[in-house]
Structure 1
């Protein structure tokens, strides 16, 4: 969490000082979508969108001299937002895990951060997963089109084992109440939702790692390439700046 805060702080100041190539002027024509996925993107107590992915994007818009208001970012349940960027025009969704199965469905700019997708269980349930074959005896919860559930579908043949919800908070409570045995989700994000529901993340444990990957900004496939390239250029330059900060 400390690295995420430092990354956001350095970005907000350094991007305004560095002479970076600006993105195309029509960046403001791109529809922006996100979901509640803390600490990367989420709605704070004051109702304003927050998180490292949000702050990265705000800084990029400022550098492009675009008058940008975070309220223009639409917060939607993941299944709806995913469908919109998959089928829409000039649309961008964040934060999305970049995988081989998704690679040709979108255009990508990033990475935003590393990510670890796991299967979570209550410690008191004493679940042990040694191989994917062990999953056949459990009910697994996830969000439709979320990377966690997509990865589980590759391992589990019986769809009757899977229980879906559009809301992570619902899945956190289902896991706690024993309605599901395992929750397929990003590890840091799951911990946040457990705390939000008044639960102690230390009462739960990751019993199986589904994926270690990276989060990106995902654009609809028909988005103009110069828009994607412009954002990518800024992110690349920022990584160079942070490396210089870490190694004076």
Structure 2
């Protein structure tokens, strides 16, 4: 009987310690074509957020490989991360609307979500209600679309697409009047399709925020903390040249 009691107590004692079956390198990572933060070149995923994830996971001794990062259209990746218990989505703008939908690690970088127009259109937006008069291109489920909706812009005033390249072309050709998107990424896509970024201008700022890694709510907080601590180290540890490992990553994409 005494032996049995000791065995039961041992089981209870062992069970009281948390077990972490998952590691950072067993999670499923999803991203989109969102340069310079995350994008693909000749089938290989790269960018600021990718390099930071790879470096930080290495520091955390659970290295994630670029080959394990899946590039998908944003709306599909966003919804999949919400319902899949081992999924991580990046780069994700942290907003009040999304705050309780995910667990957050970061920040990766500051970001500015803006409304762009062609300079030749001479469009002026003095207050949010002015946006209602125009056709605005948005990426489905992107922060630009969500911020426009929060301002009360009607759904029928927004033209959804899954691809930023398509919206860059439509804005240049006048098929949409405005484009709500991240400023740096929008300019990158405008250049990619062969247009001069000087032909376009920011006419309204929707939000200044920060980009993060968004983890499904069911992922163990142990992994959230582990990656956060590793990212903090990457941001403070210096390379041999005297700059932080984080700044070295940023400098590669300037």
Task: From the CA coordinates, give the structure whose radius of gyration is larger.
Answer: 2
Q: Equivalent of 1:39, from 21, 36, 40?
A: 36
Q: Equivalent of 2:149, from 133, 153, 163?
A: 153
Is this contact kept in 2: 1:135–1:156, CA < 8 A?
no
Q: What is the SS of the residue equivalent to 1:104?
A: coil
Residue equivalent to 2:173: 177
What is the TM-score when the length of structure 2 is the normalising length? 0.83
Segment of structure 1 superposing worse, 213-222 or 148-157: 148-157
Alpha-carbon distance, 1:155 to partner = 1.6
Alpha-carbon distance, 1:67 to partner = 5.4
- Cα separation, 2, equivalents of 1:119 and 1:147: 12
Residue equivalent to 1:204: 200
Residue equivalent to 1:28: 25
Change (3 A) 1:206 1:24: farther
- Cα separation, 1, equivalents of 2:221 and 2:184: 32
Residue equivalent to 1:60: 56
Residue equivalent to 2:8: none
Residue equivalent to 1:140: 136
**Structure 2 residue 89 is the aligned partner of structure 1 residue 100:** no
Q: Equivalent of 2:46, from 46, 50, 58?
A: 50
- Cα separation, 1, equivalents of 2:64 and 2:78: 23
Alpha-carbon distance, 1:102 to partner = 0.5
Segment of structure 1 superposing worse, 132-141 or 31-40: 132-141
Alpha-carbon distance, 1:62 to partner = 2.1
- Cα separation, 2, equivalents of 1:68 and 1:218: 16
Alpha-carbon distance, 1:234 to partner = 1.1
- Cα separation, 2, equivalents of 1:135 and 1:25: 46
Alpha-carbon distance, 1:245 to partner = 4.2
Residue equivalent to 2:160: 164
Residue equivalent to 1:71: 67
TM-align CA RMSD: 1.7
- Cα separation, 2, equivalents of 1:206 and 1:177: 17
- Structure 2 unaligned regions, length at least 5: 1-19, 245-254
Residue equivalent to 1:17: none
- Structure 1 unaligned regions, length at least 5: 1-22
Alpha-carbon distance, 1:24 to partner = 8.5
Q: Deviations over 1:70-122 (max 9, x none)?
A: 11110000000000111111110000000111011000000000000000000
Alpha-carbon distance, 1:214 to partner = 0.2
Aligned 1:209-248 pairs, distance under 5 A: 209-241=205-237, 245=243
Q: What is the SS of the residue equivalent to 1:156?
A: coil
What is the TM-score when the length of structure 1 is the normalising length? 0.85
Alpha-carbon distance, 1:179 to partner = 0.9
